[in-house]
Each structure stands twice: as structure tokens, then as C-alpha cells.
């Protein structure tokens, strides 16, 4: 569902966003404030609950024209799930009285992201986004990641400074 700017006033500009991109909002939640002559003149609300995706280029100060799409509200795809509960909308996806993994609603989440927290799963597309953000971060910092696989135990090394000075510890 598209949320459009419906005010008849001219010279309106966007104020602060009142919801985060990709977050789940309830019915009647405020999405955006708008300003006239630099003063907050009103709020744009959502008529239904869902996940918010703001229109591109919508920044504070941007001129708003009547009919312009402000944001899109879509159904939650349950992209982050922990123990059969959606991390975005908070819905319990498990069948009543069901066991772990028995879901009453479909979820796109199926990739486990943290080695020792297998019950936290995210969708393919979100896993790829997180992975490519990590890669971009490493490339921009000119760092490499070393993965050491010791008898099924994976040790992740990072560019974070070590708590102990390695030169003083002879075993390192």
C-alpha cells in the first residue's frame, strides 16, 4: 500500500521521519512530519500496519508535492526469525501446541547467521545484504578476515584490537 502526501498546502517540505526504514509499524503510527515555512505543520500517518519502506530521496527539507508517494507499507515477510518468533513484527509463527519449526505462517528466513545461535535465522536476501556489507566494510578498511577451522570449531578473527599485547604472551 502506497502512502501519498495529500495536503492541499503549497510549499510543504519533509520534516523528520518518525519510523525507521524496514521497521514494523502499527495502524495509525506517524511516519513523517511535514513543515510549512520551516515549522512543523502536520504528521503523515499510516492507515494500516506493516513494514515501512520510505520513498527514495525523502530527506528532511525535501519539497513535498500533493500526490507524491511518501512510503510503502507492505506485509511482513518475517525475514528475521528467532525461535519461531518474527524479529520484525513480533508475531509468533509457531503452530499452537506445535514443536520448534512447525509454523502456521510461511517465513522467508532459512539462513543461520551466528555459529552458536542456530535458532536465529534470516532470509537469503538479508543474509546476502549483511554479507556484502561486511565485505564492503573490510575492503574499505583494507583488511582481510582469516577463518581457522580447528576440528569443527571456527575461530573468527577480526581487525578489533586484542585485549592483551601479543608480544608479551609467549604462546601467541
Provide the binding-site residues for Zn ion, judged by CB under 5 A: 76, 78, 86, 88-89
Residue closer to Zn ion (CB basis): 14 or 121 = 121
- Residue 93 CA to residue 100 CA, distance in Å, equals 10
Residue closer to Zn ion (CB basis): 106 or 166 = 106
Residue among 72, 67, 60, 61 at smallest CA distance from 6: 67
Between the CA of residue 49 and those of 14, 27, 34, 131, 168, what are the distances in Å? Answer: 22, 4, 21, 29, 57
Residue among 74, 59, 64, 63 at smallest CA distance from 2: 74
Residue closer to Zn ion (CB basis): 4 or 77 = 77
Nearest distance from C-beta of residue 106 to Zn ion, angstroms = 11
Residue closer to Zn ion (CB basis): 22 or 60 = 22
* Shortest-Cβ-distance residue relative to Zn ion: 86
Nearest distance from C-beta of residue 89 to Zn ion, angstroms = 3
Residue 84 burial (C-beta neighbours within 10 Å; 0-12, 13-18, 19+) = buried
Nearest distance from C-beta of residue 134 to Zn ion, angstroms = 24
Nearest distance from C-beta of residue 76 to Zn ion, angstroms = 3
- CB of 25 within 8 A of CB of 46? yes
Amino acid at each position: 500500500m502506497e502512502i501519498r502526501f495529500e495536503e492541499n498546502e503549497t510549499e510543504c517540505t519533509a520534516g523528520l521521519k518518525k519510523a525507521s526504514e524496514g521497521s514494523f509499524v502499527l495502524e495509525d503510527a506517524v511516519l513523517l512530519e511535514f513543515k510549512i515555512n520551516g515549522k512543523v505543520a502536520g504528521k503523515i500517518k499510516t492507515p494500516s500496519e506493516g513494514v515501512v519502506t520510505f520513498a527514495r530521496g525523502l530527506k528532511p527539507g525535501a519539497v513535498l508535492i500533493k500526490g507524491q508517494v511518501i512510503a510503502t507499507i507492505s506485509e511482513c515477510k518475517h525475514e528475521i526469525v528467532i525461535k519461531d518468533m518474527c524479529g520484525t513484527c513480533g508475531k509468533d509463527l509457531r503452530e499452537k501446541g506445535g514443536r520448534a519449526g512447525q509454523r502456521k505462517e510461511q517465513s522467508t528466513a532459512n539462513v543461520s547467521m551466528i555459529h552458536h545461535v542456530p535458532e536465529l535465522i534470516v532470509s537469503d536476501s538479508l543474509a546476502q545484504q549483511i554479507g556484502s556489507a561486511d565485505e564492503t566494510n573490510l575492503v574499505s578498511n583494507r583488511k582481510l578476515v582469516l577463518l581457522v577451522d580447528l576440528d569443527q570449531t571456527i575461530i573468527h578473527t577480526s581487525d578489533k584490537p586484542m585485549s592483551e599485547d601479543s608480544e608479551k604472551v609467549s604462546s601467541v
